[in-house]
Structure 1
Amino acid sequence: MNDTIPSREMLIDGRFRDAGETRPVINPATGEAFAEVALADAAMTAEAIAAARRAQPAWGALAPLERAGYMRRIAAAIRSEAEAYARLIVREQGKPINEARGEVDGAAGFFDFFAEYARRIQGEILPSDHAGEQIWIQRVPIGVVGAIIPWNYPFALVARKVAPALIAGDTIVLKSHEDTPLSALAMARIFQAAGLPAGVVNILTGTGAVVGEALCNSADLDLITMTGSVPTGKRIMGNAAKNLTPVSLELGGKAPFIVMADSDVDMAVRSAVTSRYMNCGQVCICNERTYVERSVYDEFVEKFVAASKALRIGDPMEDSTDLGPKISRAELEKVEARVAEAVGEGAEIVIGGGRPENPPHPGGFYYSPTVITGVRPGMGILKSEVFGPVVPIMPFDSFDEAVSHANDGRYGLSAYLFTNDIAKIMRTVNEVAFGEIYVNRVGPESLQGFHVGYHDSGLGGDDGSHGLETYLRKKTVYVNYSGAPTSALMPYGG
């Protein structure tokens, strides 16, 4: 891959297409534009959907092993230039290079993992109520998929949507986020080089107001899958309802991180730091609110603050950098507003609370690691997603109280528990209303798991065999080989 991505061209029906209107791509570390990206319009979106519709029957008719062959070539192509892709992610998204390398490896892993399902998409044969007959339930492609991804993992999330669609026999139209389009365009070139037939994967760059709306209002999609914010997810669901289009929505999170006194406090501190600050806190499963049993609260806060102070804010291209910038000025200002609100409600800033005095670049969107104490239930900082390097820490006196705090909110994606008490572990499994629970460890989630949220964190889900089900539908076939006329088989003579 060259360092320069032909950013004004998007993949539609096997060809790279330009568009007249463009948008700058900003490097979050410097605040400066370094590329221009084309903006698709509604007509181009419709062309991409039509191309996917034309391509789907032939793609779905291929033997799954043939589809898996394409996917393995894609995975190999990603790994062959992994460092270049990682550097591209850093330039447009701002995460530290070591995290970007992990993202690239994860993207390749999605294609390898789902390629293994070439021999694992199973149907069922059921006994009939009648002699000389069988009932088959087949899993077949859902058809044409519309996918919308956010900016926090711009390379891996392309893979997370495309890989299961490909092995299922679906075709797909994917819209990248406006702030991070170049990773998706790099993936588009990988798909083309792997020889995917025209129209099987289409990659669009453009705005949500134009491309997103056109996708979600289309009557020619069979599934809409989206990762992003709660307001956007609700709008998508409303639009999709007009055509009864199924949706799978992975939305926001406000993960509680519970630390019991019987846990290994040092391990809990290290884990809490990792979970809060990875990708500058811009992860839906991040530690968004930390609850610590009172007897170890002071020890935990002291060690967490020390670890936070030790983090190196730096140029995300450098291996020694722990914390890069926020994705954009707008997102930076959202974090500032959340912290100001918390202070206004009586919370106390222990460290951080603003932009660093000497950022790596004066125009970058950096925010210092921030620890907040003195928080109380009901405060906005415990309710609203921060999506930045800010962590409120609150003590509790009993496990019942901790469970109540964890469940106090509309989000239900990920939750964390650190304890060595099996009874508390099982109570958490049974009583904490979140789709993912991590016990004595933090994310990321595994490919074979199921990434699913409750409440405002969405519906549907990604990954593993359960995520793959989203991209398939069931077809029931009644096969009568008895030679008897159908009317003779009706149970009530009707």
Structure 2
Amino acid sequence: MTEAIPTNFQLLINGRFVDGSAGFSSVINPSTGKAFAQSPDASEDQVAEAIWAAREAQPKWGMQSPLQRAVIMRQIARLIRRDAEQLATVLVMEQGKPINEARGEVAEAAEFFDYFAEFARRIQGEILPSDFPGEQIWIQRVPVGVVVAILPWNYPCGLVSRKVAPALIAGNTIVIKPHEETPLTALMMMRLFVEAGVPDGVVNVVSGAGETVGAALVGRNDVDLITMTGSVATGKRIMSSAAGHLTPVSLELGGKAPFIVMDDADMEHAVAAAVTSRYMNCGQVCVCNERTLVHRSRYDEFVERFIAMTRTLTVGDPMKTTTDIGPKISSRERDKVEKMLAKAVADGAEIAFGGGRPQSKDLADGFFINPTVLTNVTPDMDIMTDEIFGPIVPIMPFDTFEEAVAISNNSRFGLSAYLFTNDFNKIMAAVSDVSFGEIYVNRSAGELLQAYHVGYRDSGPGGDDGVHGLDKYLRKKTVYVNYSGKPTAGLMPFR
């Protein structure tokens, strides 16, 4: 049974739910190609009001003990679980991922709050000895202040929690801008935050286009941190805007993950992981298997197995639990992927399986594209160098481990990589030589809360999750404490 969805979506500014002063925008269901809801568009004045509210609320929120903040965060987690099916339903309708994946995303959204609530007793500073007697040096970790979070469209529920939870436990306040194509889940979550007891101004959400609302947020001089997950182009624009005010920026951008399969790999395990890592969320994940590299001695076997498993996948209505692959987020994104596929074929790649769009009349109005396997690809093809972000997988052979590593590293991206082998020496060599921030060895995709999701090069400066992800929401303050009763100002210890 489909959960009823709200009919009135509003911004949250300073604890009040308000309409967007700039009007409303239609939210399109990518499964049908039709609008099913209206999302409020914030004005620049409302952006300023949200930042002001966060600025006013931060000192009091930051003065609360982390344990007090954690109580509210655990209540948020409980409420997300209570309303999980409703959130998952709206998530499917606005983003298009299969309902099973949507339920998993909502469950993870709750986990973020429980996990970071555990840091209530773990935000530690340092005490260092001074060069002077009767003096200590304290290095405290304190809130950065006001955080702006810019969210993508591929995980509109989970990314709210990924940004908000660590910001809150650290004592910050936050202004969120969900992606204009998928704002509804974030707007729904705001009601849960208020119900959980989040004080006015601590969490605010302003939705609207990146060119207006996003630009207004990242160009201000009264923001202390900008954290963004999204495209490389948008990340570069944000960094450029923030540079004028020297605002710290944390960016988690695109990826072009290599999936290396050695000759000694467990082929059944490797194929299953490669399929999952390519097709989850219709390939719209920054850690997806974007280029599969298989040792030549196992290449034909791998391709045959991969196609056989791909053939079993169901492309269809994402509200059905039997669906494996839903639509692309938009017609624009679908057209982009189709152009990439056509260019690859023109460059000499061969379609070994799939291609085109589903023929079912029930899917004709949605933004669906069939899973597609490409062979006869070379490392210099655009399909092997540019992020696809769709259910297209190029598979190419290699002869040596060193060749596979060289092909992998020859990329402007550096987020995630995969390696399947039972050779411990090669595993350790990959740990050393594969220049990516995240390496999955003998497993499929899926970062964990306690790890650190980080990339190199065009995949962005910054990262999320775990103690290292929390650290960006804290800044250090050094305090020299002289309790000797004697002045030390201007004196050097050796004099």
TM-score (normalised: structure 1) = 0.98
* Offset of residue 9 of structure 1: 1.1
Shift of 1:7: 4.3
Confirm or deny that 1:11 pairs with 2:26.
no
Deviations 1:295-330, CA, capped at 9 Å, x for gaps: 000000000001111101111011111111111100
Q: How far does the alpha carbon of each residue in 1:235-257 deviate from its partner, in whole angstroms, 9 at most, with x for none?
A: 00000000000000000000000
CA distance in 1, matches of 2:105, 2:379: 35
The residue number in structure 2 matching 1:438 is 440
Runs of 4+ off more than 6 Å: none
Q: Which residue, 46, 49, 54 being the options, matches 1:47?
A: 49
Percent identity between the two aligned chains: 64
Shift of 1:487: 3.5
Matches within 5 A, 1:359-438: 360-438=362-440
Post-superposition CA distance 1:191-231 (Å, at most 9, x none):
11111110000011101001110111010100000000000
Distance, in Å, in 2 between the alignment partners of 1:109 and 1:32 is: 32
* Aligned counterpart for 1:490 among listed residues 469, 479, 492: 492
Distance 2:440 2:216 in 1: 38
For residue 127 of structure 1, what is the aligned residue in structure 2? 129
Listed one character per residue, the Cα deviations across residues 381-430 of structure 1 (whole Å, up to 9, x for unaligned) are 00000000000000000001000111111000000000000010011000
Distance 1:19 1:407 in 2: 45
Distance apart, 1:105 and its partner CA: 0.4
Match of 1:343 in 2: 345
Instruction: Tell me how far 1:16 sits from its aligned partner.
Output: 0.6
The CA distance in 2 between the partners of 1:140 and 1:111, in whole Å, is 20
Q: Which runs of structure 2 are paired with 1:173-322 in the superposition (5 Å)?
A: 173-322=175-324
Q: How far apart are the structure 2 equivalents of 1:243 and 1:85?
A: 37
TM-superposition CA deviations, 1:64-109 (whole Å, max 9, x none): 0000000000000001121111111101100000000100000000
* 1:139 partner amino acid: R
CA distance in 2, matches of 1:212, 1:393: 38
Aligned residues: 493
Evaluate the alpha carbon distance shift between residue 360 and residue 419 of structure 1 in structure 2; reply closer, same or farther with a 3 A threshold. farther
| Alpha-carbon contact 2:175-2:205 (below 8 Å) kept | yes
Question: Residue 149 of structure 2 aligns to a residue in which SS?
Answer: strand
SS of corresponding position for 2:246: coil
* Separation of aligned partners in 1, 2:3 and 2:164: 23
Q: Secondary structure at the match of 1:364?
A: coil
1:157 and 1:359, CA in 2 relative to 1: closer, same or farther beyond 3 A?
farther
Is the contact made by 1:216 and 1:236 (CA closer than 8 Å) also made in structure 2?
Answer: yes
How far off is 1:360 after superposition? 3.5
Q: Out of 312-321 and 224-233, give the one that drifted further.
A: 312-321
1:2 deviates by 7.2
Pairwise CA RMSD: 1.2
Q: Residues 2 and 342 of structure 1: is their aligned pair in 2 closer, same or farther, counting only changes over 3 Å?
A: closer
Larger deviation, residues 35-44 vs 298-307? 35-44
In 2, Cα distance between the equivalents of 1:374 and 1:422? 30
Q: CA deviation at 1:492?
A: 6.2
- Residue 4 (structure 1) shift: 3.0
Letter in 2 for 1:242: G
Q: 1:25 aligned to 13, 24, 27, which one?
A: 27
Q: Deviations over 1:128-183 (max 9, x none)?
A: 10110000000000000000000000000000000000000000000000110100
Structure 2: distance between partners of 1:457 and 1:487: 46
1-structure distance, mates of 2:362, 2:486: 80
The structure-2 alpha-carbon separation of the partners of 1:7 and 1:410, relative to structure 1 and needing over 3 Å to count, comes to farther
- Secondary structure (helix, strand or coil) at the match of 2:136 reads strand
TM superposition shift of 1:22: 1.1
Contact kept in structure 2, 1:8 and 1:19, CA below 8 Å: no
CA contact (8 A) 2:3 2:85 kept: no
Corresponding letter in the other structure for 1:167: I
Superposed displacement of residue 28, structure 1: 0.7
Deviation at 1:488, TM superposition (A): 7.0
1:359 offset after TM fit, Å? 5.4
Q: Residues 132 and 493 of structure 2 are in contact (CA less than 8 Å); yes or no, is this contact kept in structure 1?
A: no
Cα distance between partner residues in 2 of 1:79 and 1:359 = 36
Equivalent pair of 1:313/1:360 in contact (CA under 8 Å):
no
Query: CA 1:272–1:359 in 2, change beyond 3 Å: closer, same or farther?
Result: farther
413-422 vs 83-92, greater mean Cα deviation: 83-92
Residue in structure 2 matched with residue 472 of structure 1 by the alignment: 474
Q: Could you list the runs of 5+ residues in structure 1 that have no partner in the other structure?
A: none
SS in 2 for 1:257: strand
2:9–2:187 CA contact under 8 A, matched in 1: no
Q: What residue identity is the alignment partner of 1:131?
A: P
Tell me which moved more, 92-101 or 18-27. Answer: 18-27
